Structure 1
Amino acid sequence: MPFGEYPYTIDDKGRVVMPPPFREFVEDGMILTRGMEGCLYVFPLASWRRVEEQLEGLPLTDAESRAFVRFFYSGANKARLDNQSRVSVPQTLRTFAGLDGDVIVAGAPGRLELWNPGRWEEAINAVQHTPPKPDLLANFVA
């Protein structure tokens, strides 16, 4: 499972170097898509297959489910690391996530996240100052 956060830069062509600890995680290819809180999710292909199964299991008759699938799935793009361990982020996803210049590459369970540094700070501060709901932590072992 990937963990940690790494500050990097996205170049003028929309490429970001994948931090060394994350390269093996996505070496067989990846799917980049819109994430929550304005970040991008990066799933290795094996994890993406499980995500697809979950999306396919959502009820087609439910408007909120359809909207979420549309949001998540229509933004998906397949990618691979190039010879310099960079991933190319499509312009539509860069615009969505506000990625221009600096970027935070962060690990998360089953995926990576690409963040605009300002949004990253806001997201971290929000959790730091507002503890999660008790039921969310019911099975958390520290």
Structure 2
Amino acid sequence: MFLGTHSPRLDDKGRLTLPAKYRDALAEGLMVTKGQDHCLYVFPRAEFEEMARRVAQAPLTNESVRAYQRYLFAGTDEQKPDGQGRIAVVPELRRYANLRKDCVVIGAITRLEIWDAQAWQTYLDQHEDSYAQAREEVLPGIF
């Protein structure tokens, strides 16, 4: 399970050091893809393969399904962290997420999300008030 917030930096070669606490779960390989809200999603390979199986079961006759599959799979990069826990974030994905030097990596249960640090702060500022309301939709009757 991926939890927490970390603040790594991109180096000059576009590499990002993954937080040490996640490295074992990602050591066998990971998939980096475009997420919603202009962040990147990082899935362990097995988790991504399971998601891909579910996406592949959707009907190809549906235009939205085809568009989603194209966008998701064309924008995915397979990586294996190096000995120091670094992954190379390809230019297309850096551009999509507007990643500069300062980044934020958050745990989102089954995946990590990589955000530009300023974009993450803006997202938090914009969504702070709706957090309590969303809890009722996501977990009605809990808490």
TM-score (norm 2): 0.91
After superposition, give the CA deviation of every residue in 1:6-51 in whole Å (9 maximum; x if it has no partner): 0010011110111111111201110000001000000111101111
In the TM superposition, 1:1-142 aligns within 5 A as 1-130=1-130, 131-132=133-134, 134-138=136-140, 141-142=142-143
Q: Give the drift of 1:83.
A: 1.6
Give the number of equivalent residue pairs: 141
> Structure 1: which 5+ runs fail to align?
none
SS at 1:132 equivalent: helix
TM-score (norm 1): 0.92
The answer (yes or no) to whether the contact 1:14–1:90 under 8 Å persists in 2 is: yes
The answer (yes or no) to whether the contact 1:2–1:25 under 8 Å persists in 2 is: no
Stretches of 4+ aligned residues off by more than 4 angstroms: none
Provide the C-alpha distance between the structure 2 equivalents of 1:43 and 1:138, rounded to a whole number of angstroms.
Answer: 28
Q: Give the drift of 1:100.
A: 1.2
Q: Relative to 1, partners in 2 of residues 1:129 and 1:83: Cα closer, same or farther, differing over 3 Å?
A: same
Q: Identity percentage over the alignment? A: 31
Q: Give the drift of 1:133.
A: 7.1
